[in-house]
Copies of this chain bind each other. A is one copy, B any other.
Amino acid sequence: MKSLLEAIRPTTILEPAKLRDSLGLDLVVVSETFQHTGSFKFRAAYNVVLNRPEDEFIGVSSGNFGQALALACRMLGRKCTIVMPHNSAKVKVDAVLAYGAEADLINVNEVSRVERLEQLGQQRSDAYMASAFDDRLVIEGNSTLGDELLDLGLDAIIVPIGGGGLISGTVESFERAGKDIDIIGAEPLIANDAARSLKAGKIIPNEREPQTIADGTRTLSVGDQTFPVMQRGVKDVIEVTEENIATGLRMYFSLANLKCEPTGALSLGAVLQEPERFRGKRVAIVVSGGNVDADVYARLLSTH
């Protein structure tokens, strides 16, 4: 049974000259696109399954967390069920099945994800209900990414925010190391619940699932576990337009040979939103994942 640090793939650190020259900024790209299952979520999922005694895990996800939980369960010999909307992209359902998990497809017009989770929880009371972000073990697993960045001499690090799991892990990693750098969130402008929540000093959810192209951030709100960590350690959240997310994705393609998903381009989008703020500083931009359908990607490449 591999420890967390043995199981994860170290992150990929790039300093692409064309991207840096074109913006005139000292950018360090931290890419989790080559992590197991193609996103940082594996760090969290593996840590959850490793440290929980249950034989079965149930998660809700049509995206990266589902694949990550499925693989972690397979590696650690546990049973796994992923609740997914019945109209999820076939490639995403297939990926979950390929990792040996069960896909529980629901019609979200008839039953909400929360209701279905409650049903399953009653039917399978011994299973662990795994949250994609609102769990101490998730934050702890994600903090391993920050640990890999401690010695890069950074002034700032920009991290995408969905439920806040990755940025909370980043905050805790730098806190543990006693290193004080600016930890900045990147959130879609049309899904800016974290920015609004931090300003208000309390969690303010989105009224409905925001339809941003950064589909990894279509969460209703940050979590009870992540919000206090963010209040403590997140300096600021930059709210990124859909256009800058797409431009970031295209710049990674053209100037860094990096394929990423729209959510992964959020941190570069944040730089495009406020470039002057980062002039003369050494700034890491975290690419959270790379999983995106070919047709979506081709369309984003073509529109400019």
Residues of A within 8 A of B (CB): 12, 14, 16-18, 21, 33-34, 36-38, 71, 91, 95, 98, 250, 253-254, 256-260, 290-291, 294-295, 297-299, 301-302
Contact = CB atoms under 8 A, between A and B. Distances in A.
Contacts of A34: 12, 14, 16, 256-258
A254 B91 CA distance: 9
Contacts of A95: 18
Given A34-B258, A295-B302, A298-B298, 19 more contacts: A12-B12, A12-B34, A14-B34, A17-B36, A17-B71, A18-B95, A91-B254, A250-B294, A253-B297, A257-B259, A257-B260, A257-B290, A259-B259, A294-B302, A295-B301, A297-B298, A297-B301, A298-B302, A301-B301
Given A21-B98, A259-B258, A301 B294 contact: yes
Q: Is chain A's binding surface mostly helix, strand, loop or mixed? A: helix
Contacts of A302: 294-295, 298
Nearest to A22: B98
A219 to B, nearest CB: 22
Q: How many copies does the complex hold?
A: 2
A76 B95 CA distance: 47
Contacts of A21: 98
A203 to B, nearest CB: 33
A253 B301 contact: no
A33 B290 CA distance: 16
A283 B258 CA distance: 24
Nearest to A12: B12
A34 B33 CA distance: 13
A48 B16 CA distance: 23
Contacts of A258: 34, 259
A257 B38 CA distance: 7
A170 to B, nearest CB: 22
Contacts of A294: 250, 253-254, 301-302
A218 B32 CA distance: 34
Shortest 6 CB-CB contacts between residues of A and residues of B: A257-B290, A259-B259, A298-B298, A298-B301, A33-B257, A294-B301
A263 B266 CA distance: 30
A70 to B, nearest CB: 12
Contacts of A301: 294-295, 297-298, 301
A295 B303 CA distance: 10
Contacts of A257: 33-34, 38, 259-260, 290-291
A190 to B, nearest CB: 25
Contacts of A290: 257
